[in-house]
Amino acid sequence: GKSRPVELTARAWSSREGVWLEGAQPLQMTDYDVKPPKMMLGAMRVNDHVTVHYRLLLAPASGAALNTKLNTK
């Protein structure tokens, strides 16, 4: 495979633990030199299009103060 930059759109919200980011991004496996898998001698194929769903928690290092004011555009 290979890597390449992707611009993501995410929903963001703050909590006591930190800032959460959540979203989904459609991708094509072949854009990353990944061949869609085949099963049963090619009788069953997977579509090249996939959607990656993510939920990330951005948290401060232990002991660091958390500023819960979130600036969204």
**pLDDT tens column, 14-41:** 999 999 999 999 999 999 999 888 877 7
Q: Please give the model's pTM, rounded to 2 decimal places.
A: 0.67
Q: Which of 39-43, 53-57, 64-68 has the lowest mean pLDDT?
A: 64-68
Dist CA 18 CA 14 (whole Å): 6
So what's the pLDDT on residue 18? Answer: 93
Question: Between the CA of residue 28 and those of 5, 23, 67, what are the distances in Å?
Answer: 13, 17, 37
Dist CA 46 CA 43 (whole Å): 10
